[in-house]
Amino acid sequence: MTRRVVVTGMGMISPLGYNVAETWEKIVAGKSGVGPITRFDASRFSVKIAAEVKNWDPTQFMPAKEARRRDAYQQFIAVAARECINDGGFTVDENAPGRSGVIIGSAVGGVSAYYNEAMMIFETGDPRKITPFGIPMFMVNGGSDNVAIETGAMGPSYTPVSACATGADCIGVAFDLIRLGRLDQALAGAGEAPIFPIGIAAFDRTGACSRETDAPERSPRPFAKDRPGLVFSEGAAVITLEELEHARARGAHIYGEIIGYGSNSDAFHITAPQPDGSGAAEAIRIALEDARLSGAALDYINAHGTGTGLNDGMETKAVKIALGTRAYDVPMSSTKSMTGHAMGATAAMEAIFSLLAIRDNVAPPTINLDEPDPECDLDYVPHTARQMRIDTAMSNSFGFGGHNVSLVFRRFTD
């Protein structure tokens, strides 16, 4: 018999706030975190907007020496993980440290540090000037390993990488390890810091980014007829997953229960999703089957909803395939309309938003949705959050390379 897994802690840093409470308050209020790029001089770039973590100074959260030794994505993960640990009371049993794990990923790792160090060598011509902490800063697994070292968790420290679905796969892998008995608890999530010149330029070359500048808060516009593309973002989100009896034994607060995980691949194209939505629909079906639910049991879906031409119509088709006519009755919103797209980290943020939607019985809005695309004809909760009973929520995440992930959460009951 598989073990039940609950969520007992949350942490986040996002373009809307330095913690979960501040971010969630602005999500429900429909506030945008998008603005002009300040990380670098973007005057020569076609893309001039992003959803940055505002006024970021890592020394507010860690000693300057520690901050210098970490890429920004690792700094974000440290902040989110520490909030999560403090929120849920995550502690490692010194008699069984291998029963605690850390599954925290990143789609791109320390690419901003890599860029900065490479530019320094190019400009000075002296490779000896590179920081001795370069390799730890560049490593995609650096964020997860730092958290494992800080907590003393000696179970698996994995960093699954599945592009923009990374955070969801990290949560799903942790879920599997706990319910199958390998671990009793795990910190899971992802962090990203992709707002730097090459990151913006390279993604813009795919044709996926919004180039609107006059009113940054009007981008992105998921599911809209005039959607201009996605908006780059940054931040991190981490949750504590815990075996139910382990959580009960220590009197932990339980936010909700994770009951389903579906993950697959389109095996179709390196950047484009399967247009008919069949791969994404199969991930949804797998997650529902894993949760032992029918589509009729879903109350809310947090959509991947990037605001790109290729994603939104595909995701709409996928939900229709998976849920049939029930798709028209399930509210489905894109919180990326407010947070922007923080690559793999957004999937972890949206898992938290799904759990809080259940806790507070509120479906977050999709802002900027004035005129839906005709092929996007579902209920996307336009403009304003909706108070409604939510007992079961799904979070969808899709990524370059054809990655499809769906997670299912429900209200915890004995």
Catalytically active residues, by annotation? 164, 304, 341
What is the C-alpha separation between 280 and 381, in angstroms, rounded?
A: 21
The torsion region of residue 273 among left (phi > 0), alpha (psi -120 to 50) and beta comes to beta
Assigned token pair, 298: 């879903």
The maximal CA–CA distance of the chain, rounded, in angstroms, is 64
Write out the H or E segment, with its range, that includes residue 158.
strand 157-158
CB 406 within 8 A of CB 262: yes
Instruction: Reduce the DSSP state of residue 11 to 3 states and report it.
Output: strand
Taking alpha carbons only, the member of 377, 236, 352, 231 closest to residue 302 is 352
Taking alpha carbons only, the member of 282, 286, 372 closest to residue 318 is 282
What is the C-alpha separation between 278 and 369, in angstroms, rounded?
A: 25
- Dihedral sign computed on CA atoms, order 269, 271, 273, 275: negative
DSSP β-bridge partners for residue 10: 239
CB 223 within 8 A of CB 335: no
Assigned token pair, 20: 């979960």
Instruction: Find the radius of gyration of the CA atoms of the chain.
Output: 20
Assigned token pair, 123: 């400009």
CB 379 within 8 A of CB 298: no
Work out whether strand 5-13 and strand 235-243 pair parallel, antiparallel, or are unpaired.
Answer: antiparallel
Assigned token pair, 204: 């813009």
What is the C-alpha separation between 156 and 187, in angstroms, rounded?
A: 11
For residue 336, CA distances in Å to 175, 233, 305, 393, 397 come to: 24, 9, 7, 17, 11
CB 266 within 8 A of CB 249: no
Residue in this structure with the two tokens 């943020």, named with its chain if needed: 349
